[in-house]
Amino acid sequence: MLKKIIGLVVFIAALQAANAQMYDAYVHKGELGASIGLGHYFGDLNTNVAINKPKFSAGVYYLKQFNGYVGMKIDGSYTFLGFSDANNSNVVHKTRNLSFNTDLYELSVSGYFNFFKFLPGFREYSYTPYVSLGVGVFSYDPYAYLEGEKYYLRSIGTEGQGSTQYPERTQYGGTAMSIPLSFGFKYAINERMNWYAEVSYRFTGTDYLDDVSTTYAGPLTFPADPITGQRSIADKLQDRSYEVTGGLSIGDKGRQRGNSTQNDGFATFRVGLSFNLQSYKCPKAK
């Protein structure tokens, strides 16, 4: 009986040693992944932080894994964002009646941390929640539709940018910085492939994702046609309250149009597949 117990202990010890040798031999070098999902905007047109108008989002990434826990991620993504005052429950915003859409392309670099040791191919290390935080840059160009025509708002200067009446208001750029914060969960389907789900929020360096930030420039900034007397396109786009009030405009010069004290942001939720980059260490000769 004692011999059987000793033999069992020796067997278990040998099995653990073999498993430890396999773990040590396996090197998870990183991943290549792609995902699709939804994105949502938060800013001057969505002050209630509503999640009622999600749009399409997709991305690809490369992850360099330094060990079972820590890595660095390079991420490229596309997100379509948009919102309208018509979707806001606030009556003042409904009367303001502004809207926008934009195609947003982002490139970011993030530090990456697995909460559990992750070794695809080993059941006990086949899943982990993770978090990442980094810095990125993105391009955007908000536009709106008026009478069936598409107009890019940045070049129009709807808050008087570029006007002699507002020399201090310069045209905002078409790129901005972002700070992406992500939380996710991934599971190794097998040694080669994983599935994952990830939610991310981007703190941005701009208040103009939606083309809304400060005060109304006023109709005198956008003169009417001298011949027909018709309002200019720029004037119609800077104050669209007339569309819901029966012709009355609320955009007097200096009246609040947006909140310049807080930048806009956006969030994404995506699911995807990733492919593991791996290698094996050769055992050292004794």
User: Residue 184 falls within a domain, yes or no?
Assistant: yes
With 60 as the cut, is the pLDDT of residue 17 above it?
A: no
With 80 as the cut, is the pLDDT of residue 281 above it?
A: no
With 70 as the cut, is the pLDDT of residue 283 above it?
A: no
pLDDT of 247: 84
User: Residue 98 falls within a domain, yes or no?
Assistant: yes
Lowest mean pLDDT, pick from 148-152, 154-158, 247-251: 247-251
pLDDT of 282: 53
pLDDT of 280: 56
pLDDT of 123: 87
Question: What is the distance between the alpha carbons of residues 32 and 65, in angstroms, rounded to a whole number?
Answer: 11
pLDDT of 226: 81
pLDDT of 28: 78
Mean pLDDT of 96-116: 97
With 50 as the cut, is the pLDDT of residue 154 above it?
A: yes
- Find the CATH number of the domain harbouring 259: 2.40.160.20
CB-CB contact of 136 with 107 (8 Å)? yes
User: Residue 233 falls within a domain, yes or no?
Assistant: yes
Q: Looking at the chain, how many residues does it have?
A: 286
User: Residue 68 falls within a domain, yes or no?
Assistant: yes
118: closest CA among 130, 135, 109, 106? 130
**Residue bearing tokens 């040998």:** 14
Mean pLDDT of 181-209: 97
pTM (two decimals)? 0.87
DSSP for 33-101, please give it.
Answer: EEEEEEEEEESTT-TT------EEEEEEEEEEESSSSEEEEEEEEEEEEEEEGGG-S-HHHHHH--EEE
Tally of domains within the chain:
1
Question: What is the distance between the alpha carbons of residues 162 and 204, in angstroms, rounded to a whole number?
Answer: 23
Can you tell me whether residue 131 is helix, strand or coil? strand
With 70 as the cut, is the pLDDT of residue 24 above it?
A: no
Mean pLDDT of 180-188: 97
pLDDT of 156: 95
Can you tell me whether residue 260 is helix, strand or coil? coil
With 90 as the cut, is the pLDDT of residue 5 above it?
A: no
User: Residue 6 falls within a domain, yes or no?
Assistant: no
Q: pLDDT tens digit string along 117-141? A: 998 988 889 999 999 999 999 999 9
**Residue bearing tokens 């991943």:** 31
- The average confidence (pLDDT) of the chain is 89
CB-CB contact of 204 with 59 (8 Å)? no
Please give the residue that has the higher pLDDT: either 127 or 28. Answer: 127
Mean pLDDT of 202-217: 97
User: Residue 245 falls within a domain, yes or no?
Assistant: yes
Instruction: Quote the tokens at residue 182.
Output: 């992500």
**pLDDT-based confidence at residue 1 (cuts at 50, 70, 90):** low
User: Residue 19 falls within a domain, yes or no?
Assistant: no
User: Residue 21 falls within a domain, yes or no?
Assistant: no
**pLDDT-based confidence at residue 26 (cuts at 50, 70, 90):** low
Question: What is the extent of the structural domain holding 31?
Answer: 27-280
With 50 as the cut, is the pLDDT of residue 219 above it?
A: yes
- Residue 158 is given by DSSP the state T
Mean pLDDT of 61-69: 93
For the chain, percent of residues with pLDDT exceeding 90? 76
